[in-house]
Structure 1
Amino acid sequence: MQEIELKFLVPAARLKGLMRQAKVKSSETSQLAAHYYDTADYTLANAGIGLRIRKEGSNWVQTIKAGGDGLAARLEHNTLLDANQVQAMLDDNNLLPDLSLYQDTPIAPALAEFKLKKLTKNLTRQYVTDVQRTTRLLNDTSNMNSDKSLSNDSNALPNRVEMAYDYGQIIHGNDASSCQPIQEIEFELVSGELEFLFATAKIWCKRYKLCLSTVTKAERGGLLIKGEDHSPAVSADLSQLKVDERRSLPQFIRAVVHNCLLQILPNSSAIVAGSEDDSHLLQLRLGIRRLRVALKAFKKFSEHINPEWSLILKQTEHLLSHYRGLAYIAAHVEPQLVQQGAPNVQWTADIAKLKITPINAIAANDFQITLLELIEFAMSADSDEDSAAPLAVAKLAKILAKKQLKLLKADHQLVDLSDGLTDDISNDLSADLSEKLSEPALQDTEVDSEAVVASHMTGVEKQQAAQHEVQRQLSDLRYITEFAAPLYASKKTKRFLKQLTKAQQALSQHQDHQQYQRYYQQKSTTDVNALYGAGWFAALTLSDWQRCQKRLAKVRRTATFW
């Protein structure tokens, strides 16, 4: 069967109120003792599989979980074991799972690549969980799903969600002194519509400021035995983007949102769990940026896209960027400068002055609710909207052409503002832009590139603003190309994307160095030692810009693929 559940971490300040709602007369409390198994080299964990034997009341249940969509759904298979046999194995200290139970079951494909007898022999208990679980069944009491309406549809099931609050600990399988606390709440769809699961979760999330977490107990146990606090940061994985030329517009945007969430959720989960690792923060920002680009470029692909999502994502990305700028300088840039002989500059006080930290930004209720709505959108089944919609491939070519036109226009403006460029480059770019504007498919296209140059700006400010706009357009075109690439499988697609990526990375590094220069320049007003850093990055930006020019020129010359 497929398990669909949402897991949240519970803020300590909200725990007392939450428990009043969890422990009602109809709720039940049970003690769960689970033994988790894997091989010494984590064969199952590396395949995304969790395997346990758990005591549930007076029963012993063997459970395997595998696969799923990476968001809220996983395959799960439960088998009731013979209690006497389990007790006998416990007495002999050789309790082991029986993998033969999964032959001819829906979970079998997840184990198909393994030799089950050999795998079973190599299994050992890795860790144990000892949890007190409080469960409560939440029923839909709306008129829409009343008993009367159910009686009119023999196939309809009542909307029911099980809330489970877990409190306890994970214990190392070979060292009982090594453990970590568990304090989380889960909402699992028992029957009925997916919509009711998310509606229920949003109510509790708003009321108790819950924070989504994709980290399973199995994953936490694996981290415990490795002596790690958090899983590594997750970057974008385009191999998991399931799109092809048969996808309709709504199917395409849901698949794209799903892919972005696969990058966002693990990194946001690590941050709300306490990670201060820059890699989690960086990948979260990139995931949010990719998602923002998708929602803007494909906003007409589905009528269910909420325009407020983009606003909240933009606000969150801005807060994360502001914090990361200072934090990255303190943790990475400053030590490198000191190694080069620079006098030390202290950034601790500057970081402490920031009112919003990453955990504040991610734990904010509006961001958490937005994540829930995006997950629901990505998981929603095909509907009438899908069947009536045209194919995505029919629209993507025009979107790509429009975005390239915006890039060329921004690039043209940057060329005009840049010193030391030949007239030949400017003339070639003007001709290219004129040719693009004359294409029939773009005659009705309004180039709505943001006005980035204002009359009151200095020459340097104008050039930096123009560079920023080119970087924004490069980033947008790169991500849109990545999303569309599976529908245009060709060497030209790969070549175009390669040049975009190199140009974006070069310009991004240039802008990073400009930002560091500004930070050190501003810091020098109170600490003269910072002048070294300001001068260092001023020198770097000169060589950076030459590299950017070469990369942008290659982008202009690269043939399109649509």
Structure 2
Amino acid sequence: MHEIELKFLVPEARLKGLIRQAKVKSSQDIHMAAHYFDTPKQTLAKAGIGLRIRKEGDTWVQTIKAGGDGIAARLEHNAGLDNEHIQTMLDNDSLMPDLSIYKETSIAPVLADFKLKKLTKALTRQYVTNVQRTTRLLEDGSKDDGSENNNSIEMAYDSGELIHGNDDSQRQAIQEIEFELVSGDLEFLFATAKIWCKRYKLCLSTVTKAERGGLLIKRQDYSPAVKADLQLLNVNKDSSISAFIRATVHNCLLQILPNSSAIVAGSEDNGHLLQLRIGLRRLTVALDTFNKFSEQLNPEWQPILKQTAALLDDYRELAYLASHIEPTLEQHGAPSIDWTADVKQIKVTPINAVGANDFQLTLLELIAFTMSDASTESQADKLAIDKLAKILSKKYMKLLKAEQNFDDWSYNNSDCDDWGCDDRETESSKIVNLRNDDSNHSCSIGSILQKTHSHLKDLCYISEFAAPLYAKKKSKRWFKNLAKAQKSLGQYYDHLQYQQRYQQKAATDANALYGAGWFTVTLKNDYKRCQKDLNRIQDNAAFW
């Protein structure tokens, strides 16, 4: 069977209030000790499978979890075990799962690629969870027409610790709450989760106990940053526009949620920040471009997503400059620049931005949208492929127009020695100061680069979403050229930001002039590379 659940981390400041609401007269407390198994090479974890034997009160249960949609739904199979047999294995320190029970069950296809006898011999206990669980059943009242409603959710608050299987000195605290749909409509699950999320400032987490156990074994705090995986984009030429937009949003969330989960857990790693930022950009491009593909899209999502992305940009750019760019310059003989105070001046940290209630509620609504029934939409009978060619052509023309402006600037400024940002602006730490005179169409290279890079990313993301609906051979060269141009323009744009940072810093620290000069030289080479890569796109043959 499939379980559909939403998991959240609980902020310390809201914990007491949440516990009071969880521990009511009708709630139940149960102690759970779970033993998780895998091979020394983490074979099951790599396949997205979790295998455990857990004592739930007085009963021992073997559970395997796998697959699902990668967000809220997972395939799960539970099997009751003989208590005396389990106790005997525990006494002999020989506790081991029985994989033979899955041969003729719904979980069998998940294990089809494994030789079960060989796998069983390789299994070892990896870690143990010792958890006190408080459960409470949340039920909907009667419907408006007076009939009974079977909407039911199990709320489970877990408090305890995770313990290394071979070294009990290695432990990690567990403090999370889950909402699992027992029966009824998905709308009730999300409506209930939103109420608790608002009240207790909960933060969505996709990190399972199995994943946390694997990290404990590796002595890691967080899983690696997750990039976009287009292999998981479930669309084809027969996809309706309503199914297409849901699949596209779902694919973006598969990148956003793991990275946001790491950040709300405390990560400030540049990889998590970068991949979350990219995921948010992919999502906003999809929502902007395909805004007419569903009447269920909420226009209030966009401002919140864009604001969160901007806040992440402000922090990530300066933090990366301090942790990576500055050391690189020092290795080349640059005088040391202290950026500590500049980083501390940023009022909104990544955990503040991602943990903000409006962003978390937006994520919940987006998940609900992807799980809603596409066939109920008024346009469910219209094919996405019939709309995409026109959309792609418009995006392509916008890029070519921006590229022409890029070439025109080069021609009109062929003798210019300053290929960087020729203006100063301290109001925004992210956007390069722009000089744009619409009357004579003259503007700075920063403005042109920003627009060109934006159009290029839009086209690239929309092309990736649309590509599975077209012949793969035709799109191969298209993506190769777009990827090169996107990389070179992205590097050029980043270097413009860093040059501006050092120029601004030089007002209070003359040593920063070295960094400003370094990037002035670097930008000349960046510009030539961008021009070369953009010119290739003009000859690109459309794949649609």
- The answer to whether the superposition gives a TM-score over 0.5 is yes
Q: Are the aligned partners of 1:241 and 1:255 in contact in 2 as well (CA < 8 Å)?
A: yes
Aligned-residue CA RMSD (Å): 1.7
Q: Output one character per residue of 1:49-69: Cα deviation in whole Å (capped at 9) or x when no partner.
A: 000000001100000001110
- Name the CA distance, whole Å, in 2 between partners of 1:410 and 1:308: 29
Q: Output one character per residue of 1:434-460: Cα deviation in whole Å (capped at 9) or x when no partner.
A: xxxxxxxxxxxxxxxxxx863299999
- Does residue 389 (structure 1) correspond to residue 371 (structure 2)? The answer is no
Residue 12 of structure 2 corresponds to 12
- Name the CA distance, whole Å, in 2 between partners of 1:267 and 1:51: 24
Q: Are the aligned partners of 2:436 and 2:443 in contact in 1 as well (CA < 8 Å)?
A: no
Residue 147 of structure 2 corresponds to 149
Q: Are the aligned partners of 2:53 and 2:61 in contact in 1 as well (CA < 8 Å)?
A: yes
Give secondary structure in 2 for the equivalent of 1:65. Answer: strand
Q: Are the aligned partners of 1:251 and 1:386 in contact in 2 as well (CA < 8 Å)?
A: no
- Does residue 526 (structure 1) correspond to residue 502 (structure 2)? The answer is no
Q: Tell me the TM-score normalized by structure 1.
A: 0.91
Residue 95 of structure 1 corresponds to 95
Residue 513 of structure 1 corresponds to 495
Which runs of no fewer than 5 residues in structure 2 stay unpaired? 415-433
- Does residue 254 (structure 1) correspond to residue 242 (structure 2)? The answer is no
- Does residue 475 (structure 1) correspond to residue 443 (structure 2)? The answer is no
- Does residue 409 (structure 1) correspond to residue 401 (structure 2)? The answer is yes
Deviation at 1:462, TM superposition (A): 2.4
Q: Output one character per residue of 1:459-510: Cα deviation in whole Å (capped at 9) or x when no partner.
A: 9952211111011000000000000001112322121121111111111100
Q: Are the aligned partners of 1:249 and 1:386 in contact in 2 as well (CA < 8 Å)?
A: no
Map 1:110-125 onto structure 2 (within 5 A): 110-125=110-125
Change (3 A) 1:458 1:513: farther
- Name the CA distance, whole Å, in 2 between partners of 1:111 and 1:457: 66
Change (3 A) 1:459 1:244: closer
Residue 166 of structure 1 corresponds to 158
Among 320, 332, 347, which residue is 1:328 paired with? 320
- Does residue 359 (structure 1) correspond to residue 351 (structure 2)? The answer is yes
Q: Are the aligned partners of 2:125 and 2:165 in contact in 1 as well (CA < 8 Å)?
A: yes
Deviation at 1:559, TM superposition (A): 1.3
Among 225, 236, 244, which residue is 1:233 paired with? 225
Residue 533 of structure 2 corresponds to 551
Residue 305 of structure 1 corresponds to 297
- Name the CA distance, whole Å, in 1 between partners of 2:231 and 2:310: 28
Residue 431 of structure 2 corresponds to none
Q: Are the aligned partners of 2:158 and 2:176 in contact in 1 as well (CA < 8 Å)?
A: yes
Give secondary structure in 2 for the equivalent of 1:418. Answer: helix
The one-letter code of the counterpart of 1:478 is C
Give secondary structure in 2 for the equivalent of 1:143. Answer: coil
Residue 455 of structure 1 corresponds to 437
Q: Are the aligned partners of 1:415 and 1:421 in contact in 2 as well (CA < 8 Å)?
A: no
Change (3 A) 1:395 1:233: same
Deviation at 1:374, TM superposition (A): 0.6
- Does residue 175 (structure 1) correspond to residue 173 (structure 2)? The answer is no
Residue 205 of structure 1 corresponds to 197
Give secondary structure in 1 for the equivalent of 2:437. Answer: coil
Q: Are the aligned partners of 2:241 and 2:380 in contact in 1 as well (CA < 8 Å)?
A: no
Q: Are the aligned partners of 2:205 and 2:261 in contact in 1 as well (CA < 8 Å)?
A: yes
The one-letter code of the counterpart of 1:32 is M
Report how many aligned residue pairs link the two structures.
Answer: 525
Residue 82 of structure 2 corresponds to 82
- Name the CA distance, whole Å, in 1 between partners of 2:60 and 2:379: 46
Residue 188 of structure 2 corresponds to 196
Q: Are the aligned partners of 2:222 and 2:267 in contact in 1 as well (CA < 8 Å)?
A: yes
- Name the CA distance, whole Å, in 2 between partners of 1:181 and 1:112: 35
Change (3 A) 1:118 1:87: same
Residue 465 of structure 1 corresponds to 447
Give secondary structure in 2 for the equivalent of 1:307. Answer: coil
- Does residue 50 (structure 1) correspond to residue 50 (structure 2)? The answer is yes
Deviation at 1:142, TM superposition (A): 5.3
Q: Tell me the TM-score normalized by structure 2.
A: 0.94
Q: Are the aligned partners of 2:62 and 2:78 in contact in 1 as well (CA < 8 Å)?
A: yes
- Name the CA distance, whole Å, in 1 between partners of 2:88 and 2:325: 59
- Name the CA distance, whole Å, in 2 between partners of 1:453 and 1:120: 67
Deviation at 1:343, TM superposition (A): 0.3
- Name the CA distance, whole Å, in 1 between partners of 2:69 and 2:304: 24
The one-letter code of the counterpart of 1:359 is I
Q: Are the aligned partners of 1:8 and 1:212 in contact in 2 as well (CA < 8 Å)?
A: yes
- Does residue 501 (structure 1) correspond to residue 499 (structure 2)? The answer is no
Residue 372 of structure 2 corresponds to 380
- Name the CA distance, whole Å, in 2 between partners of 1:217 and 1:411: 49
The one-letter code of the counterpart of 1:409 is K
